[in-house]
Amino acid sequence: MFSLKDRVALVTGASQGIGRATALALAEAGAKVGAAARNAEKLAAVVAEIAAAGREAIAVRMDVADADEIKAAFKQVLERFGRLDILVNNAGIARDALALRMKPDDWEVVLRTNLTGAHLCIQQALAMMVRQRYGRIINLTSVVAQTGNAGQANYIAAKAGLIGLTKAIAVEVASRNITVNAVAPGFIATPMTDPLPQKVKDEMIARIPLGRMGTDRDVAAAIVFLASEEAGYITGHVLDVNGGMYMA
């Protein structure tokens, strides 16, 4: 495991799935972790698990669709740890529907949460990282942002937007020793995919050359790498973690 000793990380959407696995993996690598999400009870369980392993973490209640909550959360992390080195923009929601039938509110809330929320978190992180002349920003996009998928125009627009945002910010802050990258998971076994019928899962797996769905740990490992010193010459990149289902 790459060492993140003395680094401070903030992970959004850390209460379950990929976010939870990422918070645990960053802590395992030595980072102090701010675990952020809307569900305080689940966050407390994640922080307790990190503490039980002898690592340090705090639960930060935050809805990334709320600019004021974002500012308060970053302030809380700064007050506790004194700095921020790693930001993982993982929080996201889905409101699926065919484009012809998609309600304006479902379009707006997905873009506000999945794309605007990430942008606002990046702004808060850069305020600290630019002064430090060091930082790692990792945005969670998706394989469907690269391939397209029916019934997810809002979700895909947001996730594709994250790829563009990643590249734009990477250029802006490279001179400050801040890297900005994206991770694009494929079909991952998480609480979001667990309710899917087995027939649907089998159809997904048939499209994956490695013949299985990914795990949240597969994605977390990629994030830890991009957060590490060893990835210091990688920026503006989209790292695919999809079992080979999309090969550009």
Q: Is 186 helix (H, G, I), strand (E, B) or coil?
A: coil
User: Which positions ≥6 away from 1 have C-beta within 8 Å?
Assistant: 25, 28, 29, 224
Confirm whether 2 is domain-assigned.
no
- CA angle, 238 as apex, 226 and 6 as ends, to 5°? 15
Q: In this structure, are residues 25 and 219 in contact, taking their beta carbons and an 8 Å threshold? A: no
Confirm whether 26 is domain-assigned.
yes
Range of 169's domain?
8-239
- pLDDT of 191: 80
- pLDDT of 1: 62
Task: Give backbone dihedrals phi and psi of 142, rounded to 5 degrees, phi first.
Answer: -160, 155
Confirm whether 246 is domain-assigned.
no
Evaluate the CA torsion angle 232, 114, 68, 11 in order and state its sign.
Answer: negative
Q: What is the mean pLDDT of residues 29-58?
A: 98
Q: What is the pLDDT of residues 16-32, one digit of tens each?
A: 999 999 999 999 999 99
Q: What is the pLDDT of residues 80-122, one digit of tens each?
A: 999 999 999 999 999 999 999 999 999 999 999 999 999 999 9
Q: What is the CATH number of the domain that holds 16?
A: 3.40.50.720
Confirm whether 1 is domain-assigned.
no
pTM of the predicted structure, to 2 decimals: 0.96
Query: Is 134 among the residues known to form the active site?
Result: no
Task: Give the whole-angstrom CA distance, residue 115 versus residue 92.
Answer: 9
Ramachandran bin of 6, using left for φ above 0, alpha for ψ from -120 to 50, beta for the remaining angles: left
Please identify which of the residues 134, 155, 233, 246 carries the catalytic annotation: 155
- pLDDT of 233: 98
* Residue position matching structure tokens 């506790």: 80
Confirm whether 20 is domain-assigned.
yes
- Total domains in the chain come to 1
Confirm whether 248 is domain-assigned.
no
How many CB atoms lie under 10 A from the CB of residue 171?
11
| pLDDT above 90 for 190 | no
Element (H, E) at 219: helix 216-227
